[in-house]
Amino acid sequence: MLRFLLATTLLILTVASAHAQLVPLPPQAPDVPWPTVEWPVGPLPEKMDAAAFRAAMNDAFDEPAHGLGETRAVVIIRGGRLIYERAAPGYTTSMRLVSWSMAKSVTQALVGIAVKQGKVNIDKPMGNPHWPADDLRAQIPWRQWLQMTDGQHYLEIQAKSIAESDASRKLFGPGRLDVANYCAGLPLADDPGKHWNYNSCGIVLTADALTRAVVPKPKSPDQRRAAMSTWMHANLFDVIGMNPQPEFDATGLLYGSALIYASARDFARFGLLYLRDGVWDGQRVLPEGWVDFARTPGTSVNADIYGAGWWIAPKQGAGRPYPIYIDTGPERDGFSAQGFEGQYTLVVPSKDMVIVRLGLTPEKDLRTGALKDWLGRVARSFPAY
């Protein structure tokens, strides 16, 4: 218990100064029931820009605009109520679709739960069985892995081909049967804590360490998989009413960085958990300060677009090192879980709002920025809450 109290206190102190600059996370209104089973439904607000909203949905579904690709499902939550949902023909908002890297945000939540349970201290070295104690990688704390300031040599966003990408190599190439082993073999390229680099392998290693903390000595891959699945459902998914299907590799490891199948409604519940500061129906699911940790920039000198497991809005400009800023309004307070081919769970505290978009937008279209501009159009059509 003492270890848990010390870890939690340190987390709160670490985010205290940043918290003062963050838009407050609104509480659930007393008269709005929590959507653990079903969403309470509400109307679109009267004072919104209805014409702009209709035009955005027309661009997504009826006459898809250039750069948006195929939108399969959209769910919008405001004030804790479901105010809009729509799915393309052949899809529903309750159909499980692939998360891709939105799973990283789920892994961040799972680590937070382990912190709350006293199983993890994010300022202690995370380690890995493949590294000797004197390996610098073995000294990197959980915090830096979650913030992607670990310094590991990992290539994905800047890869010139699929064959060159560590993402495809770990999932479909030489790492596919033991993803953690592949990721643990990557060397360091920078001093930990100084340089941000998008690192899916770092989240795989985080999921591996989390699994060891939750399931210390599994007897088989099947037992490892089953025990981790039970823990995730009991502590997160069942609590907030999600019904996802997380995928595991041949060793029984939760991938962590990708491959959670869940519906748009499921991701809306997950977004609402973060909008409500990690509290659900009177129960604190995530440690106090954990959501602010997720939406606060790390210590890198080269980036202002990533917190811990979540993408964040830069204080000014379009973002470094990549222009990913979603213009949700003057508060610049949107933070999001994002996945390959245009999967988004966008949380906007100043508008008490969650926007989920699932679909298939090709990489060439994502690079136009049309999809993030579309998300901004949708958010800006709503007034502050």
> What is the mean predicted confidence (pLDDT) over 252-277?
98
> CB-based burial of residue 175 (10 Å sphere; 0-12 exposed, 13-18 middle, 19+ buried)?
buried
Confidence at 162, pLDDT banded by 50, 70, 90: confident
Residues 108-119: tens digit of each pLDDT? 999 999 999 999
Over its C-alpha atoms, the chain yields an Rg (Å, rounded) of 20
Q: What percent of the chain has pLDDT over 90?
A: 92
**pLDDT at position 8:** 47
In this predicted structure, the answer to whether residue 36 has a pLDDT above a threshold of 80 is yes
**Domain boundaries 2-29+42-380, CATH class:** alpha beta
Residues 169-189: tens digit of each pLDDT? 999 999 999 999 999 999 999
Displacement of CA 332 from its chain's centroid (Å): 18
**pLDDT at position 317:** 96
Confidence at 160, pLDDT banded by 50, 70, 90: confident
In this predicted structure, the answer to whether residue 1 has a pLDDT above a threshold of 60 is no
Tell me the sheet residues that pair with 356.
Answer: 75, 345
In this predicted structure, the answer to whether residue 16 has a pLDDT above a threshold of 80 is no
> How many angstroms separate the CA atoms of 142 and 184, rounded?
15
**pLDDT at position 4:** 44
Residues 278-322: tens digit of each pLDDT? 999 999 999 999 999 999 999 999 999 999 999 999 999 999 999
Residues in the chain: 385
Work out the angle at residue 42's Cα, subtended by the Cα atoms of residues 58 and 75, and round it to the nearest 5 degrees.
45
Phi, psi of 334 (to 5 degrees): -70, 140
Cis amide linkage into residue 321, ω under 30° from 0 = yes
> How many angstroms separate the CA atoms of 371 and 360, rounded?
11
Q: Quick count: other Cβ atoms within 10 Å of Cβ 219?
A: 9
Q: Could you give the residue ranges of the DSSP H alpha helices within the chain? A: 2-19, 50-57, 103-116, 142-147, 166-172, 179-184, 200-214, 221-232, 238-240, 264-275, 290-294, 363-366, 370-380
In this predicted structure, the answer to whether residue 13 has a pLDDT above a threshold of 70 is no
Chain-wide mean pLDDT for the chain?
94
Residues 187-203: tens digit of each pLDDT? 999 999 999 999 999 99
Residues 204-262: tens digit of each pLDDT? 999 999 999 999 999 999 999 999 999 999 999 999 999 999 999 999 999 999 999 99
**pLDDT at position 63:** 95
In this predicted structure, the answer to whether residue 86 has a pLDDT above a threshold of 90 is yes
Residues 339-383: tens digit of each pLDDT? 999 999 999 999 999 999 999 999 999 999 999 999 999 999 999
DSSP 88-117: -TT--TTS-EE-GGGHHHHHHHHHHHHHHT
Work out the angle at residue 293's Cα, subtended by the Cα atoms of residues 349 and 193, and round it to the nearest 5 degrees.
140
Confidence at 37, pLDDT banded by 50, 70, 90: confident
> How many angstroms separate the CA atoms of 224 and 218, rounded?
5
